[in-house]
Amino acid sequence: MVKELRKSQRIDFERGVDVQIMGIDGTWRRACRMLDVSEGGALLQVQGSVGDLDLKEFFLVLSSTGLAYRRCKMVRVNGDQIGVLFLKCDAVKKKGASPSARRTPVEGVG
């Protein structure tokens, strides 16, 4: 990928890190290697075809249990490599609190 277009410093992984991409609705998954990462995005090497996938918005699953993930969109393709941009959750930023802090208490519980 063109490194001159990058806005933030990247961390390169010599061998890559095994990750997966998954559709927002959970109907598809693809194994990938994360080749580099920054605060705003990552470069992934995808195993298998991505031509039939909806990559407007998807999850980058960083852990085998699925507990660590980032919401992404694809911004460029170069062969088996895709550049992704991490999407930010505006609702959390605007509210200034975690999702658990915004929950309303249930009457009779507690």
pTM: 0.73
Residue pair 94/106 in contact (Cβ under 8 Å)? The answer is no
pLDDT per residue over 7-39, tens digit each?
Answer: 678 899 999 999 999 999 999 999 999 999 999
Q: Which domains does the chain have, with CATH numbers?
A: 9-90 (2.40.10.220)
As given in the structure block, the two tokens for residue 92 are 């959390």
3-state secondary structure of 82: strand
pLDDT per residue over 45-101, tens digit each?
Answer: 999 888 888 899 999 999 988 899 999 999 999 999 999 999 987 644 455 555 554
pLDDT per residue over 83-95, tens digit each?
Answer: 999 998 764 445 5
